[in-house]
Structure 1
């Protein structure tokens, strides 16, 4: 069947200051690797054409462009970033009435490539495909993967030549905190106002002006980060250019999931100081929102009043984060209506897990099936905690929908990538099948619940650029 994508583009109608129009760079020999038929159906896409998802053909109705943005990277402001290896093909309005971007990632150089090759190699493409679809199944707001295509071209990285690939990513939009920052830092107030009006209309129509937008983004980011924490997810690179206005997870570069619990855990090879460690993610989310506030204040006539109001909005975010965290972790230990006084009970369990190196996912899943105790060395300490917990626990069924039995473990992703580089996609397909129903694992996949053996531990994850 001929491919048909029902494009309905809006970002491409904004002024040229927001992007550069250009087509993807064709590849040598496009071969399909993965296709998300269910997502395609939800988006109203019919047919399939590998040439389109490799960037070799521009489909009818597309308006290809690379988006401009800036951002703070590890706390340092970079005045111009932008889509250095991605092309936004356009937007579709799905069968659910929601507007989404369709973007090719690894589609060749753009004016924002900063001397990069604009390409992606197979490993990060498959990691993002698996991780983003797993997050969707876990119920965490996220970009999604529509297709993965091999390019037939080598990509040069520090390890040497690696097989190239292109990911088709679907997102509520690719608007980031950094999209606002670039116009604010340049003093381009008209463009900043246009962007703000567009973001409100597209994502937060209930918001009243720039500071209403700030409050809305703070709310969705607070919910997002609490969701990350509840499944043991570490983003790894929470720069402001990877912080979406929509409240979706974006950029699965050096991401990872916890095996044994430790709030200071870092996997990202580029995070040398632990800025984006697991336990730091709520604090960084607030910091990122402060940067958005700094940009949006420029649109307010009364700057002094705006600073006061924006400060109050950002200062309210830790409370929003804590409430969302308590609600999610309360459900993980079977509390129907968790209260502030329940927080010490949850924190005590986490402290025991950290002290004993207990597995994050399996401990919480084991509270319901009675196996949690097996993961602790100090069983007396766990028993003492469990006695208090059983008195308080009043919603055991809540644990089945709050605690996944399976996550995309780092060692399994690395093994899948190794197999795929060798031409074997079976581990990828098996992971995708198991991760599609993480709260109700099908028979035959119990081995995927196991933490890594000592020689399987993945100490660091890499961005892939």
Structure 2
């Protein structure tokens, strides 16, 4: 890899130098702190994303690159740092937070001019680690590496993953926060993004009343990441907020399309570029349930449940609006923009469902149809992805009850089979209203509905294999996630096995790394 091309991208607003001291602390009036990765004596490469490396301008992997991938023996041109941000966590103001186990290496510009930030996750403590060790364990690192790439290939805006490596250390973690800590293998992921800027960066500057720096940060973000904004006066900040709202709404609609549940949508986990960021206690949807949360820390309130993600995105945007108010200074504009968010989101959501069902255009009766479908899915505990896969295969001679039997997580009695039959009849009646051919409708469905999703139980099995020195599952999952709209491995296109229903780290997870 050509790491000599890495440069420092971040605007220099109140930098702090903590390069020789990673003690966790508050750093008022500081937006980032220089810090060195911990360094690891016995690293081992697990996976390297060569296609991504070539794409962003780093080139092919060589054995000597392993040191860089875990933050060892860095060249002089790489000045590493961590950023400070604030945020609301589970609806409460948490004050200063920051990159607790993420350290930025810098930015690389490809030959096509594309800018990409590069960041280690799990490479050691920073001033923002809040008394944690800044390390990451294998299971969270595998989950981040694979899921971010899975989302990319599904067509969902996301950060991406360049590499995954063992550190050679063991890390103590209490996976379920129940007083049973245990040693686990440590690992480091390098993740990439156009930018890792979050709602929380703006919240921090505003909370500290550093309004000049808030403006500098907004100007920097607009200039580098929002080329569509052409206004040069104060209107550009209104345009900035409107664009963030639109990108955020579009992102959450994509989550709904593929059945992704983030699990911890705190404002510090929200990207101002509309990217999926911070893969922690997430899950892809198995049985359809609007009230499903994969995060045990989110119980019993289920603030971040699947069906609430649009509502929470709007709530988070209210907090960003408060942070940007010193630049925008127009309460009515902010209120109108936020009130319009719901209208835009639900229209985009229903347009998305039209594609999943193969409807050529949204009709006013479709809202009732979608509501009935949601009720059916929850009552019959139908698998979200597999339901649509089966829907594509229906013919005039299909036995509906038998056709959908294997995608339900319960045994369908006569009453439930009748409800399923009745719904499919209503679907066929609705399809008949299309002005396009059935072939065109099916093509639309195939583009909207993945054949493969990276389910938690598959990740669990993969992590177990890697822990035991095997990579076959990793290689198969990588190939499958790179082709999610094809059924490469039929054994992956099945519902979650019953044996995994109550397995920690499989059906549900905690926020523990």
Q: Which runs of 5+ in 1 are unaligned?
A: none
Mapping of residues 368-387 of structure 1, within 5 Å: 368-370=392-394, 373-374=404-405, 375=407, 377=412, 378-387=416-425
Secondary structure, counterpart of 1:79 in structure 2: strand
Return the alpha-carbon distance in structure 2 between the equivalents of residues 401 and 61 of structure 1: 44
Return the alpha-carbon distance in structure 1 between the equivalents of residues 203 and 258 of structure 2: 30
Return the alpha-carbon distance in structure 1 between the equivalents of residues 108 and 372 of structure 2: 46
1:328 to 331, 352, 366: 352
RMSD of aligned alpha carbons = 1.6
Aligned to 1:192: 214
Aligned to 1:452: 496
Mapping of residues 237-252 of structure 1, within 5 Å: 237-252=264-279
Aligned to 2:50: 37
**Aligned pairs, number:** 458
Are 1:267 and 1:461, in contact at CA under 8 Å, matched by a contact in 2?
yes
Return the alpha-carbon distance in structure 2 between the equivalents of residues 373 and 353 of structure 1: 11
2:381 maps to 1:357 = yes
Return the alpha-carbon distance in structure 1 between the equivalents of residues 367 and 380 of structure 2: 20
Return the alpha-carbon distance in structure 1 between the equivalents of residues 143 and 38 of structure 2: 23
Aligned to 1:46: 59
Return the alpha-carbon distance in structure 2 between the equivalents of residues 141 and 338 of structure 1: 24
2:136 maps to 1:97 = no
Deviations 1:409-430 (A, max 9, x none): 1111111112212222221221
Aligned to 2:18: none
Aligned to 2:194: 172
Aligned to 1:421: 467
2:467 maps to 1:440 = no
Return the alpha-carbon distance in structure 2 between the equivalents of residues 341 and 247 of structure 1: 31
Return the alpha-carbon distance in structure 2 between the equivalents of residues 40 and 12 of structure 1: 25
Aligned to 2:512: 464
Return the alpha-carbon distance in structure 2 between the equivalents of residues 317 and 203 of structure 1: 22
CA apart distance, 1:288? 0.4
Secondary structure, counterpart of 2:392 in structure 1: helix
Aligned to 1:27: 40
CA apart distance, 1:200? 1.1
1:228 to 249, 255, 278: 255
Aligned to 1:286: 314
Return the alpha-carbon distance in structure 2 between the equivalents of residues 433 and 410 of structure 1: 17
2:6 maps to 1:10 = no
Are 2:457 and 2:507, in contact at CA under 8 Å, matched by a contact in 1?
no
Return the alpha-carbon distance in structure 1 between the equivalents of residues 4 and 341 of structure 2: 39
Mapping of residues 290-309 of structure 1, within 5 Å: 290-300=318-328, 303=329, 306-309=330-333
Are 2:11 and 2:220, in contact at CA under 8 Å, matched by a contact in 1?
no
Secondary structure, counterpart of 1:380 in structure 2: helix
CA apart distance, 1:392? 2.5
- Change beyond 3 A, Cα 1:323–1:62: farther
2:88 maps to 1:69 = no
CA apart distance, 1:178? 0.5
CA apart distance, 1:12? 5.1
Are 1:122 and 1:165, in contact at CA under 8 Å, matched by a contact in 2?
yes
CA apart distance, 1:334? 0.3
Are 2:206 and 2:323, in contact at CA under 8 Å, matched by a contact in 1?
yes
CA apart distance, 1:13? 4.2
Mapping of residues 331-346 of structure 1, within 5 Å: 331-346=355-370
CA apart distance, 1:212? 1.6
CA apart distance, 1:180? 0.4
Please report the TM-score for the alignment, with normalisation by the length of structure 1.
Answer: 0.95
Please say which of residues 266-275 and 243-252 is displaced more in the overlay.
266-275
Aligned to 2:302: 274
Secondary structure, counterpart of 2:192 in structure 1: strand
Are 2:46 and 2:166, in contact at CA under 8 Å, matched by a contact in 1?
yes
2:142 maps to 1:126 = yes
2:285 maps to 1:258 = yes
2:448 maps to 1:402 = yes
Secondary structure, counterpart of 2:276 in structure 1: coil
Aligned to 1:117: 133
Please report the TM-score for the alignment, with normalisation by the length of structure 2.
Answer: 0.86
CA apart distance, 1:15? 4.2
CA apart distance, 1:96? 4.8
CA apart distance, 1:325? 0.8
CA apart distance, 1:110? 0.6
Return the alpha-carbon distance in structure 1 between the equivalents of residues 209 and 190 of structure 2: 34
CA apart distance, 1:95? 4.7
Please say which of residues 41-50 and 203-212 is displaced more in the overlay.
203-212
Q: Which runs of 5+ in 2 are unaligned?
A: 16-29, 175-180, 230-234, 395-399, 435-440
CA apart distance, 1:441? 2.1
CA apart distance, 1:382? 1.9
Please say which of residues 321-330 and 58-67 is displaced more in the overlay.
58-67
